[in-house]
Amino acid sequence: MNKPRGKKIDVVSAVTVALIIAAVLAPMPIAGQTYLIQVLVLILIFATLAQAWNLLAGYAGQPSLGHAALFGSGAYTLALLTFYVDFFRYNPWPAIFIGGFIASMVGLAVGALCFRLRGPYFALATLAITEVIRLIVANTDFTQGALGVTVPTPPKVETPLFTIDFAEKLPYYYIALAIMLVSAYVVYAVSKSRYGLMLQSIRDDEDATASLGVNTFRLKMMAMFISAFMAGAAGALYAVFISYIDPSLDPGGVLTLFTSIDPILMTIIGGVGTIIGPIIGAAIKVGLGEYLRVTFGWKAGLDLVVFGAIFMVIFFVARRGIWGVVKTVTREGWGPVKADLLKLLGR
């Protein structure tokens, strides 16, 4: 019983290492193709954001609709630091951590208010707070209001051995990859720690968890702190990568509902409560989105229609998310998946 289990873990870690190496080498054959690398960077940034949502919602069962507030806090922290402080104009990289930290503070404030609520009430409260934050940012001079903030391109780093030019996309790829891998590892570590089981039990039944001595509020705040840090760091990197952020309602705006919904879509498509799920989901959401935009761009909105149709199919066929289905099938065979489908067909 124990032996095959040990073997299985080895296979998983071998595959993981292989995937990381592949991710590190991936840009080589497409080094010149700026657009492709840009898409890859966005996938990695959103995979981090999705992973953040996954920790709070997938593991701890708190369905936040406010991750845009955290992503936006990080983005605005970096943008405003480069705007007001000379040091960060020449070296914005420490601001990624500061962005994560400020987002954590915002997250704790949101949590202190919203964790008193459950389920859909929690979700709607986080949504409301996000919109309030967006409106404050849009109407405050300090944050440049509706004008938005332009982030200058970080200067070249020159060493005797190599030169890193941030006017190119490739350096961002590696920074985004590092942040994404660290965030995935953090979620993995939390899920395997003593807090992992308690977060999961909060998701299953919060009252019963509290009756067993778990301070559920504190644990939810802890999950929020980590989740918000990851979302904030992703947002900060996004700001310096895109080099302009504003509080508009457009799909690209960092504080919009789109930014809150995207990580949810990604995580659900990929597999809620799994480490790989959000990464797969981000790749599909961003990658497929770009592909469709190019292919169906000749008619306004057509790409989104096709996009929606594809998502519906994924939801129907893979109710546990793509990675969730893979996991279920390897562990229990096709039975549960078939049962899901039959249920959907009304059997």
Partner 1 sequence: MTLLEVKELSKHFGGVVALDGVNIKVDKGELVGIIGPNGAGKTTLYNCVTGFYPPTSGRVFFDGKDVTGLPSHRLCRMGMARTFQIPRPFMSMTLLENVMVGALGVGMSLREAREKAKEIVSFLKLEEQANKPISKLNFNYRRRCELARALATNPKLLMLDETFAGLNPSEIDEMVKLVRKIHESGVTIMLTEHVMKVVMSLAERIVVLHQGRVIVEGSPKEVVNDSRVVEAYLGQRIFV
Residues that bind partner 1 (CB under 8 A): 193-194, 197-198, 200-201, 203-205, 207-216
Within 110-258, strands assigned E span 149-150, 157-158, 163-164, 244-245
- Name the residue nearer to partner 1 (CB basis): 141 or 207: 207
The CB-of-338 to partner 1 minimum distance in angstroms stands at 17
Q: What is the distance between the alpha carbons of residues 269 and 286, in angstroms, rounded to a whole number?
A: 12
Backbone angles phi and psi of 21, in degrees to 5 = -60, -45
Please, which residues have CB within 8 angstroms of residue 225's CB and are 6 or more apart in sequence?
A: 104, 107, 108
The tokens of 315 are what? 């939801």
- Name the residue nearer to partner 1 (CB basis): 31 or 197: 197
The CB-of-214 to partner 1 minimum distance in angstroms stands at 4
- Name the residue nearer to partner 1 (CB basis): 14 or 197: 197
The CB-of-213 to partner 1 minimum distance in angstroms stands at 3
- Name the residue nearer to partner 1 (CB basis): 85 or 208: 208
Please, which residues have CB within 8 angstroms of residue 242's CB and are 6 or more apart in sequence?
A: 151, 252
- Name the residue nearer to partner 1 (CB basis): 163 or 211: 211
Q: What is the distance between the alpha carbons of residues 203 and 193, in angstroms, rounded to a whole number?
A: 16
The CB-of-194 to partner 1 minimum distance in angstroms stands at 4
Sign of the four-CA dihedral 262, 172, 292, 329: negative
- Name the residue nearer to partner 1 (CB basis): 45 or 60: 60
Q: What is the distance between the alpha carbons of residues 235 and 104, in angstroms, rounded to a whole number?
A: 12
The CB-of-217 to partner 1 minimum distance in angstroms stands at 9
The CB-of-117 to partner 1 minimum distance in angstroms stands at 17
- Name the residue nearer to partner 1 (CB basis): 139 or 215: 215
The CB-of-190 to partner 1 minimum distance in angstroms stands at 12
The tokens of 237 are what? 């990197």
Q: Tell me how many degrees the CA angle 21-291-319 measures, rounded to the nearest 5.
A: 75
Nearest to 233 by CA among 168, 181, 286, 156: 181
- Name the residue nearer to partner 1 (CB basis): 213 or 346: 213
The CB-of-59 to partner 1 minimum distance in angstroms stands at 10
The tokens of 268 are what? 């659900």
- Name the residue nearer to partner 1 (CB basis): 91 or 193: 193
Own/partner contacts of 158-165, CB < 8 Å, gap of 24 or more, are none
Per the rule left: phi > 0, alpha: psi between -120 and 50, beta: everything else, 308 is: alpha
- Name the residue nearer to partner 1 (CB basis): 48 or 216: 216
Query: For the purposes of burial, counting CB atoms within 10 Å of the CB of 166, is it exposed (0-12), middle (13-18) or buried (19 or more)?
Result: buried
The CB-of-311 to partner 1 minimum distance in angstroms stands at 25
Alpha helices in 139-215 (DSSP H): 170-192, 194-204, 206-210
The CB-of-115 to partner 1 minimum distance in angstroms stands at 13
